[in-house]
């Protein structure tokens, strides 16, 4: 624990500048610690006047973890439309909240966003914190990170979830750093540990060769980003909740960055994340031209075409079709993997599909173990037969 010795302090503010967690302020000439202190000791080393010491006890930021309650989802929206990943995260948060006997809150920053809370509630949010202000109209890192960090410090949620989107990937690490807590990025699974109640956050690690489960036992909140398409949204048409309006003032530091122009990204012709059915092809196709089999089967089923990375790397199909850890995460009702072995990096992107069917000549391929149905044999015979049967119908 950090111990302040005010009688030695000369008010140089070196400790305030060096503290990575904004845990020391000067009140008049007296240094004061707040509960963000993690006891890292950076201020002890920085103080030249022996006004700060480290003791053996725990620091304020590390104690009283039980004061943190509830699960928060940081809502993302554009043009008054909520991003699907927010609804998926609320669905997961609801499942986790039942095991923690707690509530789910969504946090919504923006301008004129008052119409959005009912949708968040219908997907399971018990409470929506709204911060509605002109300077929050478009996402900017500094004001969003500052305001959400301040809210977290004030309300002490136990867990905070973000979409692993451009915004979430930018915002979550900033907030984790400000709060001095941990963050697991790009999770593919979230569970509650039955014994400790900790949030177990699973993600591919070491180049995707293993799935690592990460916990944050000593700091709060426990924070994770989750890729779109991994969790499932649930709709409860009758569910309502509480709206809490938070008033904020614009600060000078909020405006260090201004947005000059927004250029919308061209919409990809492939929409794997929203597809109900995906037919994916892998190296077992043998050659680029055999993708026409996959496309034909996809047409018969009204499906999108997916692919493994090895065929994308070979240039058989464009990258926007890639499913997996470094491609898209998908959750269709039906995923048909044709000539795909089911490497862990591929499974990371499609294992939550409702039904998985594998076409593979190797009965021991990992995709066969992950699939609900498997057709063992040569895809060059199986797929044309499937197409012919579907066309007859
Ligand atoms: C950091 C990292 C990230 C990665 N990210 C991704 C990712 O996002 N997505 C991804 O897919 N991969 C990813 N990979 C690559 C991954 O490890 C595998 O190499 C890749 O998924 C293998 O692709 P595949 O299944 O098409 O090919 P293979 O592993 O070669 O499998 C081909 C399969 O086809 C079957 N087969 C062969 N001929 C036939 C036939 N005639 N009929 C039926 N079956 C047949 C074989 O039995 C085999 O199971 C990543 C790897 C790393 C290191």
Q: Is residue 199 part of a domain?
A: yes
Which of 207, 297, 308 maximizes ligand 1 atoms within 8 Å of its Cβ, making it the mutation to test the pocket? 308
Q: What angle do CA 191, 203, 282 make, to 5 degrees?
A: 120
Q: Which atom of ligand 1 is nearest to the CA of 367?
A: 49
Average pLDDT over residues 306-321: 96
pLDDT number for residue 136: 94
pLDDT number for residue 233: 93
pLDDT tens digits, one per residue of 342-352: 999 999 899 98
- pLDDT tops 80 at residue 38: no
d(CA 206, CA 169): 19
Q: What angle do CA 62, 65, 69 make, to 5 degrees?
A: 145
Q: Is residue 258 part of a domain?
A: no
pLDDT tens digits, one per residue of 193-248: 999 999 999 998 887 778 899 999 988 999 999 988 889 999 999 999 999 999 99
Any ligand 1 atom below 6 A from CB of 282: yes
Cα 308 to Cα 22, 92, 326, 339, 356: the distances in Å are 45, 27, 10, 9, 15
Task: State which of 62, 90, 114 marks the end of a domain.
Answer: 62
pLDDT number for residue 59: 52
- Whether omega before 221 lies within 30 degrees of 0, making that bond cis, reads yes
Any ligand 1 atom below 6 A from CB of 191: no
- pLDDT tops 60 at residue 61: no
Do residues 347 and 371 both lie within one domain?
A: yes
| CATH number for position 356 | 3.40.50.1220
The Å distance, Cα 265 to ligand 1 centre, comes to: 30
- pLDDT tops 60 at residue 60: no
- Proportion of the chain above pLDDT 90, given as a percent: 71
Do residues 73 and 34 both lie within one domain?
A: no
pLDDT tens digits, one per residue of 233-256: 999 999 999 999 999 999 888 889
3-state secondary structure of 363: coil
- Proportion of the chain above pLDDT 70, given as a percent: 98
Identify the burial level of 56 via C-beta atoms within 10 angstroms of its C-beta, where 0-12 means exposed, 13-18 middle and 19 or more buried.
Answer: exposed
Residue 333: band (very low, low, confident or very high) from pLDDT cuts 50, 70, 90? very high
pLDDT number for residue 63: 53
d(CA 103, CA 97): 6
Any ligand 1 atom below 6 A from CB of 309: yes
pLDDT number for residue 198: 97
Q: What angle do CA 214, 218, 222 make, to 5 degrees?
A: 55
Any ligand 1 atom below 6 A from CB of 189: no
pLDDT tens digits, one per residue of 16-27: 988 877 888 888
Do residues 51 and 72 both lie within one domain?
A: no
Q: Is residue 262 part of a domain?
A: no
- pLDDT tops 70 at residue 57: no
Residue nearest to atom 30 of ligand 1 (CA): 283
Do residues 73 and 129 both lie within one domain?
A: yes
Taking alpha carbons only, the member of 303, 297, 309 closest to residue 208 is 309
- pLDDT tops 70 at residue 282: yes
Any ligand 1 atom below 6 A from CB of 157: no
pLDDT number for residue 41: 82
Q: Exposure pattern of 314-328 as b/e (b: 16+ CB <10 Å)?
A: eebbeeebbbbbebb
| CATH number for position 217 | 3.40.50.620
d(CA 76, CA 67): 27
What are the tokens at 350?
């499609």
Structurally, how many domains does the chain consist of?
A: 3
d(CA 366, CA 237): 39
Q: Is residue 256 part of a domain?
A: no
Taking alpha carbons only, the member of 149, 187, 159, 193 closest to residue 71 is 159
For 190, the enclosing helix (H) or strand (E) is strand 189-192
Q: Is residue 208 part of a domain?
A: yes
The Å distance, Cα 282 to ligand 1 centre, comes to: 6
Task: State which of 62, 77, 97 marks the end of a domain.
Answer: 62
pLDDT number for residue 56: 66
Taking alpha carbons only, the member of 70, 281, 251 closest to residue 158 is 70
Do residues 104 and 221 both lie within one domain?
A: yes
Which of 206, 210, 309, 327 maximizes ligand 1 atoms within 8 Å of its Cβ, making it the mutation to test the pocket? 309
- Strand stretches in 264-330, DSSP E: 277-281, 304-307
Which of 279, 283, 386 maximizes ligand 1 atoms within 8 Å of its Cβ, making it the mutation to test the pocket? 283
Contact between residue 224 and residue 183 where contact means Cβ atoms under 8 Å apart: yes
Q: Is residue 261 part of a domain?
A: no
pLDDT number for residue 94: 97
pLDDT number for residue 58: 56
Domain containing 297 equals 272-392
Contact between residue 24 and residue 31 where contact means Cβ atoms under 8 Å apart: yes
pLDDT tens digits, one per residue of 141-171: 999 999 999 999 999 999 999 999 999 999 9
The Å distance, Cα 340 to ligand 1 centre, comes to: 5
Any ligand 1 atom below 6 A from CB of 312: no
Collect all residues with Cβ–Cβ distance below 8 Å to 101 and sequence separation of at least 6.
Answer: none
- pLDDT tops 60 at residue 62: no
- pLDDT tops 80 at residue 84: yes
d(CA 54, CA 391): 75
Collect all residues with Cβ–Cβ distance below 8 Å to 16 and sequence separation of at least 6.
Answer: 24, 25, 26, 31
Q: In what order do the strands lie in the sheet with 183-187?
A: 183-187, 222-226, 159-163, 71-74, 104-110, 127-132, 242-245
What are the tokens at 211?
């799935």
In total, the chain counts a number of residues equal to 393
- pLDDT tops 70 at residue 293: yes
Q: Is residue 263 part of a domain?
A: no
The Å distance, Cα 230 to ligand 1 centre, comes to: 20
């Amino acid at each position: 624990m950090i111990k302040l010795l005010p009688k030695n302090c000369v008010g140089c503010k070196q400790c305030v500048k060096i503290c990575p967690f904004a845990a020391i302020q000067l009140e008049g000439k007296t240094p004061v610690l707040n509960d963000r202190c993690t006891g890292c000791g950076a201020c002890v080393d920085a103080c030249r006047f022996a006004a700060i010491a480290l003791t053996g006890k725990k620091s304020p930021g590390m104690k009283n973890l039980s004061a943190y309650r509830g699960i928060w989802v940081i809502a993302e929206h554009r043009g008054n439309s909520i991003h699907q990943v927010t609804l998926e995260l609320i669905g997961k948060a609801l499942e986790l909240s039942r095991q923690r006997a707690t509530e789910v809150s969504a946090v919504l920053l923006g301008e004129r966003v008052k119409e959005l809370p009912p949708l968040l509630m219908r997907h399971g949010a018990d409470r929506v914190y709204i911060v509605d202000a002109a300077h929050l109209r478009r996402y900017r890192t500094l004001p969003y990170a500052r305001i959400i960090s301040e809210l977290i410090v004030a309300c002490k949620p136990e867990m905070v979830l973000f979409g692993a989107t451009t915004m979430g990937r930018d915002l979550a690490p900033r907030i984790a750093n400000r709060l001095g807590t941990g963050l697991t990025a790009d999770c593919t699974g979230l569970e509650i540990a039955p014994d400790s109640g900790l949030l177990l956050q699973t993600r591919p690690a070491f180049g995707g060769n293993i799935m690592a489960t990460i916990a944050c036992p000593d700091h709060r909140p426990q924070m994770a980003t989750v890729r779109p398409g991994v969790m499932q949204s649930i709709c409860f048409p009758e569910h309502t909740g509480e709206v809490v309006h938070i008033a904020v003032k614009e600060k000078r530091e909020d405006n260090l960055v201004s947005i000059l122009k927004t250029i919308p990204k061209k919409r990809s012709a492939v929409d794997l994340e929203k597809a109900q059915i995906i037919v994916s092809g892998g190296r077992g196709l043998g050659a680029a031209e055999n993708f026409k089999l996959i496309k034909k089967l996809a047409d018969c089923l009204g499906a999108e075409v997916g692919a493994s990375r090895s065929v994308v790397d070979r240039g058989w199909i464009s990258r926007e079709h890639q499913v997996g850890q470094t491609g898209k995460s998908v959750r269709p009702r039906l995923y048909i993997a044709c000539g795909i072995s089911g490497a862990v990096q591929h499974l990371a992107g499609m294992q939550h599909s409702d039904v998985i069917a594998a076409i593979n000549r190797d009965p021991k391929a990992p995709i066969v173990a992950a699939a609900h149905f498997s057709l063992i044999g040569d895809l060059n015979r199986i797929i044309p037969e499937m197409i012919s049967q579907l066309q007859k119908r």
